[in-house]
Amino acid sequence: MATLNTREAWFREYQDYDRDDGKQVIGLEGFQRLCDALKYNIVELEPLVLLWKLGAVELGIVELETWDRTIREMGVADNAALKKTIDATVAKFKTDLVSYGSFYRRVFDFLKTTPNQKFIPVEDAKSALTLITSQHWLFMRFIEFLDDQGKKVPSMTRDQWNLLLELSKSVDAEFSTYSKEEAWPSLFDDFYDWVREHPASAPQLIDTTSLLK
């Protein structure tokens, strides 16, 4: 396990020294360099999981305090050990849906452009869902629905984002268990109507008990 001094020295390798606010953070460029060191493609799943494990509150920004705490909690001392932990976390998502749910919900924060933003652009939501749900049938159908709606659905709220994960656990490909009488967002009622009008072209053969295959 890394000591306090080595954790800080490790952080300094990627710290943003050009900030005007004096905060000690790893910024976007530093996070890119960290991902390069871990041999992660910045547009793949692992960098988002890395941000989540490091306690980031926005995309690509890691503060020294949270770095120190999370690195200590993970018990890692170098990039090789950190990569091993992140890779193991991704692999466990297949069976640990509680952990995956925590990660999924945090991704909404990574997609915001300001801290107080209450929604995320639908195009960003679609890109993220494609990346983090690994072709799970409901999310792919939801993306099709959003594409079909066009400008009618310009954004997603946090509530819609979070409840979409819950919806994926409760319905089958025909939405036979869905009820408009339940307290789902109205967007999901529209999605339900669209699914009924646009049946899938082929049977869904994906195991819906796991979001990452």
127 and 44 part of one domain: no
Does the pLDDT of residue 210 top 50, yes or no? no
Give pLDDT tens digits for 94-122: 899 999 999 999 999 999 988 889 999 99
Q: What pLDDT band is residue 201 in, cutting at 50, 70 and 90?
A: low
User: 11 lies in which domain range?
Assistant: 4-92
Give pLDDT tens digits for 13-67: 999 999 888 889 999 999 999 999 999 999 999 999 999 999 998 898 999 999 9
Does the pLDDT of residue 207 top 70, yes or no? no
pLDDT of amino acid 172: 87
- The total of structural domains in the chain comes to 2
pLDDT of amino acid 34: 97
208 belongs to a structural domain = no
Q: How far apart are the first and last CA of the chain?
A: 32
- The whole-angstrom separation of Cα 84 and Cα 49 is 12
- The whole-angstrom separation of Cα 212 and Cα 41 is 18
Q: What is the pTM of this model?
A: 0.89
86 and 113 part of one domain: no
176 belongs to a structural domain = yes
Locate 35 and state its tokens.
């991902």
